[in-house]
Structure formats: C-alpha cells, structure tokens
Amino acid sequence: MNTLYIALAALLGGIVAALLGWLESGEPFNLRKFGGSLIRSLIAAAIFAAGYQLSGSIGIIDLFYAFLGGAGVDVIGNRISGSLGNGSFPLTKPPETPREGGS
C-alpha cells in the first residue's frame, strides 16, 4: 500500500507542475501538451514506486520527495522536449496545417 502512496504522490506532483505551467503560460488549454505531461508523470510514478518498494516504512517526507520528484521529472522533460521541438513528447507532434496565401 505504501508503494501506491508514493506513486500517487509522484503522479500528483507532475500533474500539479503541468497545471501550474499552463496557468503561467496564459494560453488556452492544450490537451496534447497536458497528455505529454501526464505520461511523463506516470513514468515518474513508476520509477519512484519501484525505488521505494525496497524500503521499509514510508513517512510524510518520503511522500513529499516523491511529489517533488514527479514535478521535477515533468518540468525537466518538458524543457528538454520543448527545446527539441516537441513540447508534448512522448506524444507525436501534430501535423502542421499549410498557411493560405503564404510562401
């Protein structure tokens, strides 16, 4: 049961980081970008749950570290994927629509 709490804390940390990033951007909600953050948060949750599975008891500080770790994985992953041209990684980049009248 402790492993589930750690995974949920990491997942929640990533989701909170994604929501705060969206609020800061002032852009309309983009489900594709949020989906990428959600997948990165799930990966962080799995990693933290696997790491804490071997530990003994889990306290509030462990949940806090997992929350911060989930947020950190999402933020770092978002910065890296954004600099590589696909802010919604691991989801594929949407096809670009051609502009009318442009060259």
Q: What pLDDT shows up at residue 8?
A: 93
CB atoms closer than 10 angstroms to residue 52? 21
Low-confidence ranges of the chain (pLDDT < 50): none
Please give the model's pTM, rounded to 2 decimal places. Answer: 0.75
Q: What pLDDT shows up at residue 97?
A: 66
Greatest Cα pair distance, the chain, in angstroms, is 65
Q: What pLDDT shows up at residue 13?
A: 93
Q: What pLDDT shows up at residue 101?
A: 56
Q: What is the DSSP letter of 59?
A: -
Q: What pLDDT shows up at residue 25?
A: 83
Q: What pLDDT shows up at residue 100?
A: 62
